[in-house]
């Protein structure tokens, strides 16, 4: 039990320090902008969890981030850096927008099929950088960044070209209401069943990574590629699979956004889900439970910032600044050492975050 508590405390040291410092820096910015940080942060808190509607906004914001956070976390467990979440979201989203229009004959039964299609296209898109790395040694950080832009342009082409609708807002046709993900209710306004799909995805990733042979191999490759290779685990195959599974998660997230929130892909589509997924995964230490918590924090920040902008004149963009600072601080191991001393650091780095990334 004490071991468990120590591990849990260790796992929390980095994220808690990063979040705390980010809020201190944020407070300075709020002061500079001529506002009272306490008033601003209370508004932020109220906007994040102060009412069912606020909580609903937080959950709504958190939903896609669970998927993109998982997309980063799965790859990270194999020692790979998936910066491609943004593009994978677009691929899933455009898949949903196109397929859902053609599956209307099936009625609501078609919804899981649409989501499966998003999963599949995300999987294939994620497999590309995996294949390029395994076969040609092309670094996945660069290829996933480049594939983001290719995906965004591809989705834009499809939405404004062959699948463009006659509707006023440029984009694909709006999906029939019965093909949309239903709302959860409970006064949580627009929270939809995509949230549960996300939680299910997190559970699946957990089971996959820690309860299957494939997951064991992926983690083994991430912890020690040399040893894994010696043990006969094909590094290339696991590289492709880890990035492909990550892509599948982000693709599913893009599809859930279309079916749950937007009903179509209009251009420009939602931005930065993939990049914020990196922060979510790091904050959650690449564990599915951590990812869900990280997504809730990021989602809460985004919805709280709206309230803050309404109540004070602190711009909404403060939320992005806070996220960036958290992201900046969360892997700076030496900074933590600098702040809390060496002994605590060895405790906190029981499982090093930057291990396996080259």
Partner 1 sequence: MEELLASTIRNATPLIFAALGGMFSERGGVVNIGLEGLMLISAFFGVVGAFYSGSAVVGLAAAMGAGLLFALIHAVMTITFEADQIISGTAINLLALGGTGFLMVEFFGSGGTSPRVTGFDAVAIPGLSSIPVVGGPLFNQSLLVYLMYALVPVTFFLLFKTPFGLRLRGTGEVPEAVDTAGVNVFRMRYYGVALSGLLAALGGAYLSMGLLSAFTEGMTNGRGFIALAALIFGRWHPVGAAGAALLFGFAQAFTFQAPQDVIPLEFLNMLPYILTIVVLAGFGGRAIAPAAVGKPYRKE
Determine, following the binding rule CB under 8 A, whether residue 7 of this chain makes contact with partner 1: no
How far is C-alpha 225 from the chain's CA centre? 26
First vs last Cα of the chain: how many Å apart?
Answer: 35
Of the candidates 324, 343, 347, the one whose C-alpha atom is nearest the C-alpha of residue 13 is 347
Q: How many residues bind partner 1 (CB under 8 A)?
A: 56
Determine, following the binding rule CB under 8 A, whether residue 316 of this chain makes contact with partner 1: yes
Q: Interface with partner 1 by CB under 8 A: which range of 171-179, 217-225, 289-297, 322-330? A: 322-330
Q: Two tokens at 290?
A: 């951590």
Query: Please, are residues 63 and 194 in contact by the beta-carbon 8 Å criterion?
Result: yes
Show the beta-strand stretches assigned E in the chain. Answer: none
Determine, following the binding rule CB under 8 A, whether residue 342 of this chain makes contact with partner 1: no
Closest contact distance (angstroms) between CB of 334 and partner 1 is 4
Closest contact distance (angstroms) between CB of 324 and partner 1 is 4
**CA–CA separation, 208 and 298 (whole Å):** 25
Q: Which of residues 13-32 bind partner 1 (CB under 8 A)?
A: 29, 32
CA distances in angstroms from 246 to 129, 148, 242, 335, listed in the order given:
11, 14, 6, 30
Closest contact distance (angstroms) between CB of 3 and partner 1 is 27
Q: Which of residues 46-85 bind partner 1 (CB under 8 A)?
A: 81, 83
> In this chain, which of 4, 161, 169, 226 binds partner 1, going by CB under 8 A?
161
**CA–CA separation, 274 and 279 (whole Å):** 9
> In this chain, which of 154, 214, 223, 347 binds partner 1, going by CB under 8 A?
154
Determine, following the binding rule CB under 8 A, whether residue 116 of this chain makes contact with partner 1: no
Q: Interface with partner 1 by CB under 8 A: which range of 143-151, 178-186, 238-246, 341-349? A: 143-151
Q: Two tokens at 272?
A: 């930065």
Query: Please, are residues 212 and 100 in contact by the beta-carbon 8 Å criterion?
Result: no
> In this chain, which of 21, 241, 293, 318 binds partner 1, going by CB under 8 A?
318
> In this chain, which of 175, 275, 284, 285 binds partner 1, going by CB under 8 A?
275
């Amino acid at each position: 039990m004490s071991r468990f508590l120590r591990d849990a405390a260790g796992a929390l040291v980095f994220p808690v320090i990063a979040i705390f410092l980010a809020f201190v820096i944020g407070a300075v910015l709020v002061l500079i902008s001529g506002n009272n940080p306490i008033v601003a942060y209370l508004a932020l808190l109220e906007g994040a969890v102060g009412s069912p509607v606020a909580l609903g906004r937080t959950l709504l914001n958190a939903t896609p981030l669970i998927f993109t956070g998982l997309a980063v976390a799965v790859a990270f467990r194999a020692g790979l850096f998936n910066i491609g979440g943004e593009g994978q979201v677009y691929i899933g989203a455009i898949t949903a927008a196109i397929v859902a229009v053609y599956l209307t004959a099936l009625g609501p039964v078609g919804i899981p099929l649409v989501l499966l299609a998003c999963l599949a296209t995300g999987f294939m898109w994620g497999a590309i950088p995996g294949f390029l790395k395994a076969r040609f040694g092309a670094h996945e950080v660069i290829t996933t960044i480049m594939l983001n832009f290719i995906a965004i342009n591809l989705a834009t082409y499809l939405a404004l070209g062959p699948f463009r609708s006659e509707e006023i807002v440029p984009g694909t046709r709006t999906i029939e209401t019965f093909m949309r993900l239903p709302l959860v209710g409970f006064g949580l306004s627009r929270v939809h069943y995509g949230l549960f799909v996300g939680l299910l995805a997190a559970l699946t990733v957990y089971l996959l990574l820690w309860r299957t042979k494939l997951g064991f191999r992926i983690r083994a490759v991430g912890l020690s590629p040399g040893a894994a290779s010696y043990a006969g685990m094909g590094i290339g195959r696991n590289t492709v699979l880890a990035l492909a599974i990550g892509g599948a998660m982000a693709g599913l997230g893009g599809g859930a956004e279309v079916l749950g929130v937007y009903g179509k892909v209009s251009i420009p589509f939602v931005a930065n889900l993939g990049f914020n997924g990196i922060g979510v995964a790091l904050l959650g230490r690449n564990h599915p439970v951590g990812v869900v918590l990280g997504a809730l924090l990021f989602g809460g920040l985004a919805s709280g910032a709206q309230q803050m902008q309404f109540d004070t004149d602190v711009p909404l963009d403060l939320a992005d600044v806070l996220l960036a600072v958290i992201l900046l601080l969360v892997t700076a191991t030496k900074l933590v050492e600098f702040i809390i001393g060496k002994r605590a650091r060895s405790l906190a780095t029981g499982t090093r975050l930057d291990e396996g990334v080259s």
